[in-house]
Structure 1
Amino acid sequence: MNGKAGPRATGEGTTGSTGTTRTRLDRGRGALGPALELVHTGRAPTRAVLTAELGVTRATAGAVAAELEALGLIRVDARPAAEAGSQGRPSHRLEVAEDGPVALAAQVHADGFRAALVGLGGRIVATAPGCETVDADPAKVLGSVVEAGAELLRGTGRRCVGAGLAVPSAVAEPDGLALNPLHLAWPAGAPVRQIFAERVRAAGIEGPAFAANDVNLAALAEHRHGAGRGARDLLCVATGHRGVGGALVLDGRLHTGSSGLALEVGHLTVNPEGRPCYCGSRGCLDVEADPLAFLTAAGREPGPVVSLLQQANDLIRGEYADPVVRMAVEALIDRLGLGLAGLVNILNPDRIILGGLHRTLLDADPHRLRAVVADRSLWGQSGGVPILACTLDHNSLVGAAELAWQPVLDDPLGALARV
């Protein structure tokens, strides 16, 4: 859905006629989804830009925008004002509707779970208090997080288009099985999508339910709304509460492989003499560049109250002047840089974005990380690959909502008729 919406409409009738307006809308109906995605991702801030991006006439673009507004999805500025110094007729501004429908987003990680309501544009409308314990039974956890989301929906009275779940595990397609939820103590192969969908239906929440890997969803959210916007081939690497994950956007689309299991970057070896990994190997990124690895390198015992990610971030931001902390930062940067360099050699991305603790490491010493990647990668030496920090808070939650929003982006009329 990154291309044009189809051939340019022609033969428009006289403006103001009800019949002509209906004809324009009929001709532009196939453009409703592409138009909504353009507004959703911020690529069509005005009706003039929408017209150009869709490749339709101004009248057809106006009819499409009006229909999306009638559906409660966007708002069209009724009285556009010209910007200072501009010439010609001002264009109507387009924005997502602040009071429009929402998607229920849920995320489970090693240190708890959270639910949120997310509107178009990746806007988090409401969040439930996070839980800091995760039961070994996925049905109990998913039941609790869905109930938290249902409570948000009852409290806000918002219409829900569907639900999405982010989990720290590879999720196999087409069955939605969490194959390696190592840090959750869940059984391998847990049918998380089925369980989640059942809990969503039991809570009376309308719309389809989806589940996917948390870093894949973070990459999807960042590509549409954050630091990855505009990239064609985007590599995302992140460490949240435990372990390291990676995701790839190729030619503007999330790449998940033949069965949803692509880019298990956490199991790249970056220290052959390093720690034993859960996968059976040794020195993988998963155990050499996550929050626990950093706290261990810095000689700090993980505390029982605050999450590992927060402990690690707080230590870097508050005690970076401590030589031991600084050495631990440098050690993790070198390991991370080695892994990124290998990925650059294989994938040749046009941008790398880092999330979680890796974002904090980049902030602490950006020159060191970029130098390691450049020195160890062929394409890095030829000009460098931009390495940026993720910019969205709770990007996995936003990405989970993107799963639920996708049917609406594909077919606004049909999807909203079903919920």
Structure 2
Amino acid sequence: MNGKAIPTRTRLERGRSALGPALELVHTGRAPTRAVLTSELGVTRATAGAVAAELEALGLIRVDSRPGAGAGSQGRPSHRLAVDEAGPVALAAQVHADGFRVALVGLGGRIVATAAGRSVVEADPAQVLGACVAAGEALLREEGRRCVGAGLAVPSAVAEPEGTAFNPVHIAWPSGAPVQQIFTERVRAIGIGGPVFTGNDVNLAALAEHRHGAGRGADNLLCVATGHRGVGGALVLGGRLHTGSSGLALEVGHLAVNPEGRPCYCGGRGCLDVETDPLAFLTEAGREPGPETSLLQQAASLVRTGRAESAVRSATHRLIDRLGLGLAGLVNILSPDRIILGGLHRELLEADPDRLRAVVADRSLWGRSSAVPVLGCTLDHNSLVGAGEVAWQPVLDDPLGALAALTG
């Protein structure tokens, strides 16, 4: 070395392989400053600066030109890093038993815009998926954003890699419906050229919560949730979503918790799917479902506002006990370091957290000595955020290559 400063271009070329890791650190909030980015990447301060500048030039992050020091920090203040709120978005869609919702999802798990559609989900998936994409196209037009790709969340196990809905018991689709193919065709028809993905709604919710919500920092995360109908589960192992050999892992809805309970769609009896979902709660509480709002909204509202009624309290306790029994069995098998609950299950947890945690601790082998934390999901529309995450993943892996492919 002759003592001369290394040209910026050379530093950038040396650090270009760090663009993806750097973007993911900012995306997940783990690098709020350039100093933290330097430390996390294990590179020189000059290289971290060049990497941050390149990501800013790509329109993905913003580097605050007025550095500030955090509370308790020492030394020279570092530049602050954040995702660019005016940057590109992913189109995310979710189909559920009462219709669909679409959103534009930016980096950082931010929902930029969203719209819902209530309708009967017909046996032909093309009808509701076409409506989803049309609603998404309208949002993109209104926001004027570049789109990096699209993700779809469905209330069914999704066989990989073909993307077929393997067991959509709560909507009218036939088993094996080619939802990935249909969704891709509709997305391509509106001019989106980025990658297109399809996944189970609870799997995608768990991914979103692990990166941006109640699951952050967990190595082995169990997510159990009930949305509009039925119960789903997902597992993050070693920081990565576990879907099994063909995408069909962790169908927790068919774990039996009440041998004398309701017949289940799987052929069994008393499964979580039919004993702890919104319809089960309304039935236990002696309520007839109404047409004005979704089953989830009706059940969640009743849990929150009907506690003075003995029938509602009894129904709440019965569902908590069944849910706790199922969670204890899963703890015995999976030994997660955290459990997060979504949908109506989050409402049940909030209604009586001590009861639910006591059931889990009492019935799990390790519960008495080392209780597993049980938390509620924290993200609004987490399945949509997760659908956005999988659409963003190619950009997180290779920012330059993925964005170049969109414009190439």
Could you state the TM-score of these two structures normalised by the residue count of structure 1?
0.95
Q: 1:246 aligns to what SS in structure 2?
A: strand
Q: Is 1:250 the counterpart of 2:230 in the alignment?
A: no
Contact 2:100-2:116 at 8 Å conserved across structures:
no
Map 1:360-375 to 2 at 5 A: 360-375=347-362
CA distance in 2, matches of 1:414, 1:352: 36
Alignment match, 1:183 = 170
Equivalent of 1:126 in 102, 113, 121? 113
Q: Which amino acid aligns with 1:101?
A: P
Equivalent of 1:56 in 39, 43, 50? 43
Alignment match, 2:294 = 307
Alignment match, 1:145 = 132
Alignment match, 1:33 = 20
Post-superposition Cα deviations, 1:33-63, rounded to whole Å, max 9, x if no partner, equal: 0100000000000011111111111111111
Contact 2:208-2:386 at 8 Å conserved across structures:
yes
Alignment match, 2:185 = 198
Q: Which amino acid aligns with 1:322?
A: E
CA distance in 2, matches of 1:52, 1:403: 27
Q: Is 1:328 the counterpart of 2:315 in the alignment?
A: yes
Map 1:53-92 to 2 at 5 A: 53-83=40-70, 86-92=73-79
- Count of aligned pairs between the two proteins: 406
Q: Is 1:163 the counterpart of 2:150 in the alignment?
A: yes
Query: CA RMSD for the aligned pairs?
Result: 1.2
Contact 1:150-1:205 at 8 Å conserved across structures:
no
Cα 1:30–1:85 change in 2 (3 A) is: closer
Deviation at residue 84 of structure 1 after TM alignment: 6.0
Cα 1:43–1:86 change in 2 (3 A) is: closer
- Off by >6 Å, runs of 4+ in structure 1: none
Equivalent of 1:45 in 11, 14, 32? 32
More deviation, 212-221/50-59: 50-59
Alignment match, 1:4 = none
Deviation at residue 132 of structure 1 after TM alignment: 3.6
Post-superposition Cα deviations, 1:376-403, rounded to whole Å, max 9, x if no partner, equal: 0012122100000000000000000001
Structure 1 unmatched ranges of 5 or more: 1-10
Q: Which amino acid aligns with 2:364?
A: S
Equivalent of 1:289 in 276, 279, 292? 276
Q: Which amino acid aligns with 1:242?
A: R
Deviation at residue 155 of structure 1 after TM alignment: 1.2
Map 1:372-391 to 2 at 5 A: 372-391=359-378
Q: Which amino acid aligns with 1:170?
A: A
CA distance in 1, matches of 2:264, 2:270: 7
Equivalent of 1:407 in 390, 394, 397? 394
Cα 1:92–1:175 change in 2 (3 A) is: same
Contact 1:12-1:24 at 8 Å conserved across structures:
no
Structure 2 unmatched ranges of 5 or more: none
Q: Is 1:341 the counterpart of 2:328 in the alignment?
A: yes
CA distance in 1, matches of 2:331, 2:319: 18
Equivalent of 2:266 in 267, 279, 283? 279
CA distance in 1, matches of 2:36, 2:385: 25
Q: Is 1:21 the counterpart of 2:3 in the alignment?
A: no
CA distance in 2, matches of 1:36, 1:105: 20
CA distance in 2, matches of 1:102, 1:201: 16
Q: Which amino acid aligns with 1:205?
A: I
The sequence identity of aligned pairs, in percent, is 81
Q: 1:127 aligns to what SS in structure 2?
A: strand
Q: 2:113 aligns to what SS in structure 1?
A: strand
Deviation at residue 220 of structure 1 after TM alignment: 0.1
Equivalent of 2:218 in 226, 231, 234? 231
